[in-house]
Amino acid sequence: KGTTLYNELANYMRGVLFPSGYVEVKTPLIYNKDLWETSGHWQHYRENMFLVEGADEGEQMALKAMNCPGHMLIFGSEVRSYRDLPIRLHEQTALHRNEASGVLSGLTRVRQFSQDDAHCFVTESQITEEVERLLRLVQRVYTDFGLQYAVKLSTRPEQFLGEVATWDHAEASLKQALDRAGQAYTINDGDGAFYGPKIDFDVTDAIGRKWQCATIQLDYQMPQRVDLKYVGADNAEHRPVVIHRAIFGSFERFM
């Protein structure tokens, strides 16, 4: 029954996303340490990753705990134009996180899970419109399933990448999108990801417990670290901004 429900949820999400211009991709489960260092996860997230020894002596690798580095490689694999953006890459493959045994719980906190994950590559001027579209997408999906949710804007943590001014601008962009969508929210001070602020959605279950499921995260840092570029209308190279987002969160927690 669990497998059947998973497949139904996966196909439901494809039916929602494909008409909106998403492309489904599939990326490797294991990457070399070099990529994780470039993305910043090796320095900031390694304790939560399963490490793997490579075939060559001294080679270090890790099971992927998130899809974003692979999606960055896909974007950077060919020349992109401003006319191509937004580019929306969607993936549902398994992820692995080395959670402490004491926090594991049923399907709500597991070491292997799958997300209805996607990354939207946008220009600076497209941020507010794209985030507003995502807020309305979350609203549609959770309305379809009859779920109530509360929204939090999580701001710059103590340990972060980049400049304070960039963070301030990113947080202001998310606030503008929330206001344009008419979405009520609270501030979750200091709980942003190390690479950018985020909007989190806490869903109330049948017995009144709250679970963080959907998330929308604005990222200026990883496109810079991976050196992503697109050609603008001025025929010069520009840096895209990436929006990380999941709607169910993980399939397991959503079920």
| Helix or strand holding residue 93 (H, E) | none
Task: Find the catalytic residue in 116, 117, 200, 219.
Answer: 117
117 is catalytic: yes
> C-alpha angle with apex 228: 51 to 52, nearest 5 degrees?
10
Quick one: CA torsion of 12, 18, 23, 28, rounded to 10 degrees?
0
Task: Find the catalytic residue in 97, 111, 169, 239.
Answer: 97
**Best CA proximity match to 234, nearest among 81, 87, 17:** 81
238 is catalytic: no
What does the longest C-alpha to C-alpha distance in the chain come to?
56
Q: Which residue has the tokens 């379809």?
A: 144
Task: Find the catalytic residue in 96, 198, 245, 253.
Answer: 198
Task: Find the catalytic residue in 64, 152, 244, 245.
Answer: 244
224 is catalytic: no
What crossing angle do the helices spanning 127-144 and 2-17 adopt, rounded to 10°? 140
Task: Find the catalytic residue in 64, 92, 115, 175.
Answer: 115
119 is catalytic: yes
244 is catalytic: yes
Instruction: Report the alpha-carbon distance of residue 73 to residue 228 in Å, rounded.
Output: 9
State whether the Cα torsion 189-192-195-197 is positive or negative: negative
DSSP conformational letter for 109: B
> Which amino acid, 51?
L
Taking the mean position of all CA atoms in its chain, how far away is CA 46? 18
Task: Find the catalytic residue in 119, 152, 175, 245.
Answer: 119
Question: Would you mind telling me the total number of residues written for the chain in this entry?
Answer: 255
60 is catalytic: no
Q: Which residues are catalytic?
A: 68, 97, 115, 117, 119, 198, 244
